[in-house]
Amino acid sequence: MKLLVTGASGFLGKYVIAEAVRHGHDVRAVVRGGSLFQDLQRPVELAQVDLRSSRGLTQAMSGIDAVIHLAAAKSGDLYTQLAGTVVATENLLAAMSEAAVRQIVHISSFAVYDPMRLPSFSLLDEDAALDDPLGDRDEYAITKILQEKLVVDYARKNSWRWTVLRPGMLYGPGNLFNARVGLRMGTGWWLRTGAWARIPLNYVENCAEAILLAVENPQADGQIFNVVDDELPTQRRYARLIARRTVPRPRIFPVSWTIMRLIARSAWLMNRAILGGRAKIPGIFVPSRLHARCKPLRYSNAKIKSVLGWTPRYGLIEALDRSVAVSAPAAGAVQQGYQQSNLVESSGGPA
Amino acid sequence: MSQPTTQTVLKAAAIGTGKISEEHLRFLRGSRRARLVGVCDLSPAMADFAARRFNADAAYTDYAKMLADARPDVVHVLTPAATHPRLVNDCLCGGAHVIVEKPVAPTHGQFQTLWSLAESKQRRLVEDHNYRFNPPVLAIERLLAEGKLGEICEVDVRMSLSICAPGGRYADTHLPHSSHKLPCGVLHEFITHLCYLALRFIPSVDRVAARWSKHGNEPLFKYDDLDALIFSGPVHGRIRFTSHSGPECFALTVRGTRGWAQTDLFQPHLRVVVPRGGQQLSGVMNQIAGGWELTRAGVAGFWNKVMQNTAYAGLHTFLSQTYEALCQGAEPPVSFTDMDRASRLIDALLDERNRL
């Protein structure tokens, strides 16, 4: 197949490119600036376009069989993220439509779920309720909710083949700490918000493999899958494991989930009762955001395993060891640093 | 269209749902003088999101359809500046009053054309001069009106913004900001604010001299620095924009024959130095008063941050007064003269004959 991968130069994108090439696909990588994917078994084309504009997008779709849509803005204010995630997706879908590309695998997020509606320690699976983008979730969650709905509605309306994957907390080289652990307090101190909640981890190479299975397997059509690994550590264990692999080793200051929840609830009530809900309080003290980060829940990968036959290749310890041992994605398979004009083919290096 | 009465609720609509729209739409959602009948954006998802968020009756992706279907009394034009002339023209022709983000048009000639059209259609055309309505600016105007600063001698308006910073919206090389193509480049996004604030305290303009510079190396930028002088008889004015000195500020200083007042609209405070406590103690008393004011402003600034009161505080006052005026059939708070003078001054600053 010939695949178009958006967000190709992001953390997950580089692994997806490497995995797609490993599976024998032709890949066209959508990048904003100049990026080069070297040392892969097959050449990777670059489509140097910015999804926030429709310019050049239809051209980039030429000859494409399926799109893997990873692109999303992860920082900036609401309007920056709306442009980088929602408007970008609109432009992508319109270009797919124009170029008659009829398959999309969209990478969503656990951020779309509404954890407030789930009791503690209940199962969060693909049927869990989604959050309301008009609520008080953060910018990333708001835009990912809007983005997923956009993709599914558009694909259904146009009778495309579509699949949504919702990875848990992605981790890998250079990306071990995440919001489920807590907060980084400057250098050397971590505030661990909770202890016993399982973290829905998903090692980046495992996730890339799941994405390729979703592209290739017709059973994935019209399906939504949560993607988490088999071994999901508690916050306490994971914090210890990654602290051991962090230099200098940080000191961990634990705060219990119950206390965090009480503080957030009190702050929220005071804001509503006394300040009319107008005060801007830190995200970790906004109940819906705190629950999204730290609520103890159970997770399942049963659906993606049974439908697509996916099995996470790397267990937790092996994945962590790979993460600290491997400095560049996919064992150095993907590197950056090349300037090219619109839609060019890079040289394929040795395997 | 509604006839102006004391009970009038105007049908309002907005074109553009970007960052600045948030403040306009928040005002419209809470105003007793307005009902938001439509929001329009080229992006259906953005239009729909804004409509749901701010309780608009409908979302549109075609402003002509919105004008025809919703028949708004007032349209807020909140799109990039280069699109203003066409959109303002079409809204006026559609029978709506127009409130437009600054600048109304990139050149004074285009502004005049639009103003003539508004006159011929008997519609109001109002440019957003929101910082004029921020409390510290109003306080300085009161001090002058009460004679506490004496006669005006100098006005200094200074904005420092790191527009060239990597990762910022104006320095994005992947999708260059549309304002780079305006006559002042990105500075056109801010120049109207600087001009109308200076002109608020300068009665007429005899001569201007401007130095437009680019001190940085970023290829996108036409200018990143402006230093301009305005001469009006005995009154001297200075307009300064820099993207290199920190921290970011939007400072206004007005000096009179009796004393001076200073504020920073990004970190609101008001420092007033006037004769206090007799000749011997005046200096000390002013320092004590200044210290007290800065302490008070520091606490208020923290509170404003918590309560999400932004530098756009004046926008809500401006819109509130504009809607009252439209409902009453009265002159809006930003008049033709205000807009005309600001637009003329921008043209004069750009005029090659006035370059330093």
- Give the domain CATH number at B223: 3.30.360.10
Question: How many angstroms separate the CA atoms of A40 and A27, rounded?
Answer: 11
Q: Are residues B29 and B99 in the same domain?
A: yes
Instruction: Check A134 against B53: CB less than 8 A apart.
Output: yes
Question: How many angstroms separate the CA atoms of B164 and A163, rounded?
Answer: 40
The mean-pLDDT minimum among A20-29, A75-84, A180-189, B201-210 falls in: A180-189
B52 Cβ under 8 Å from any chain A Cβ? yes
**Alpha carbon B239 to its chain's center:** 15
Would you say residue B290 lies in a domain?
no
Average of pLDDT values for B124-139? 97
Chain B residue with CA closest to A94: the answer is B43
Amino acid at A250: P
Q: Are residues B160 and B254 in the same domain?
A: yes
CB A242 within 8 A of CB A175: no
- Paired residues of B255 in beta bridges: B154, B260
B276 Cβ under 8 Å from any chain A Cβ? no
Contacts of A329 (CB under 8 A, 6+ apart): A11, A14, A15, A18, A172, A173, A204
B18, B44, B307 member nearest A90 (Cβ): B44
* Residue B18 with chain A: CB contacts under 8 Å: 79
Q: Are residues B112 and B139 in the same domain?
A: no
Q: Are residues B154 and B219 in the same domain?
A: yes
Average of pLDDT values for B104-129? 97
Question: How many angstroms separate the CA atoms of A114 and A49, rounded?
Answer: 34
Of B238, B268, B298, which residue constitutes the final position of a domain? B268
Q: Are residues B15 and B65 in the same domain?
A: yes
Of B89, B106, B130, which residue constitutes the final position of a domain? B130
- Count of C-beta atoms within a 10 Å radius of residue A156: 11
Average of pLDDT values for A186-197? 90
Would you say residue B276 lies in a domain?
no
Instruction: Check B45 against A90: CB less than 8 A apart.
Output: yes
**Burial track B17-53 (b if 16+ CB lie within 10 A, e otherwise):** bbebbbbbbbbbeebebbbbbbbbbbbebbbbbbbeb
Q: Are residues B15 and B124 in the same domain?
A: yes
Would you say residue B4 has pLDDT above 70? Answer: no
Q: Are residues B158 and B246 in the same domain?
A: yes
Would you say residue B325 lies in a domain?
no
Q: Are residues B150 and B114 in the same domain?
A: no
Would you say residue B346 lies in a domain?
no
pTM: 0.90
Would you say residue A347 has pLDDT above 70? Answer: no
Q: Are residues B140 and B198 in the same domain?
A: yes
- Partner A, chain B 152-171, Cβ-Cβ below 8 Å: 169
Give phi and psi for A66, each to the nearest 5.
-150, 155
**Burial track B270-300 (b if 16+ CB lie within 10 A, e otherwise):** bbbbbebeeeeeeeebbeebbeeeeeebeee
A79 Cβ under 8 Å from any chain B Cβ? yes
A148 Cβ under 8 Å from any chain B Cβ? no
B305 Cβ under 8 Å from any chain A Cβ? yes
Segment (H or E) for A238: helix A235-244
Would you say residue B184 lies in a domain?
yes
Instruction: Check A280 against B19: CB less than 8 A apart.
Output: no
Tens digit of each residue's pLDDT (9 = 90 or more) over A13-35? 999 999 999 999 999 999 886 55
Name the pairing type of β-strands B260-264 and B271-273.
antiparallel
Q: Which of B233, B235, B270 is nearest to B251 (CA)?
A: B270
Would you say residue B236 has pLDDT above 90? Answer: yes
Q: Are residues B79 and B153 in the same domain?
A: no
Instruction: Check A86 against B49: CB less than 8 A apart.
Output: yes
Would you say residue B327 lies in a domain?
no
What mean pLDDT value characterizes chain B? Answer: 94
Residue A342 has a pLDDT of: 33
Which strands sit side by side in the sheet containing A251-255, from one edge to the other?
A182-184, A189-193, A251-255
Instruction: Check A86 against B19: CB less than 8 A apart.
Output: no
Report the CATH number at residue B115. Answer: 3.40.50.720
- Give the closest-approach CA distance of B124 to chain A in angstroms: 30
B215: left (phi over 0), alpha (psi -120 to 50) or beta: alpha
Residue A13 has a pLDDT of: 95
More confident residue, A38 or A55: A55
Residue A337 has a pLDDT of: 28
Q: Which of B271, B269, B270, B273 is nearest to B286 (CA)?
A: B273
A218 Cβ under 8 Å from any chain B Cβ? no
- What is the domain count for chain B? 2
Residue B29 has a pLDDT of: 96
Q: Are residues B91 and B197 in the same domain?
A: no
Structurally, at CATH architecture level, domain A2-171+200-230+298-345 sits in 3-Layer(aba) Sandwich (3.40)
Instruction: Check A279 against B174: CB less than 8 A apart.
Output: no
ipTM reported for the complex, 2 dp? 0.89
Residue B7 has a pLDDT of: 76
Interface size A-B, in CB pairs within 8 Å, comes to: 43
- Give the closest-approach CA distance of B43 to chain A in angstroms: 7
Of B110, B130, B150, which residue constitutes the final position of a domain? B130
Would you say residue B64 lies in a domain?
yes
Tens digit of each residue's pLDDT (9 = 90 or more) over A241-298? 999 999 889 999 999 999 999 999 999 999 989 988 888 888 888 999 999 999 999 9
Would you say residue B205 lies in a domain?
yes
- Distance linking the first and last C-alpha atoms of chain A: 20
Q: Are residues B72 and B185 in the same domain?
A: no
Question: How many angstroms separate the CA atoms of B105 and B82, rounded?
Answer: 7
Residue A234 has a pLDDT of: 97
Range of the domain at B264: 135-268
Show me where the domains of chain A are located. Answer: 2-171+200-230+298-345
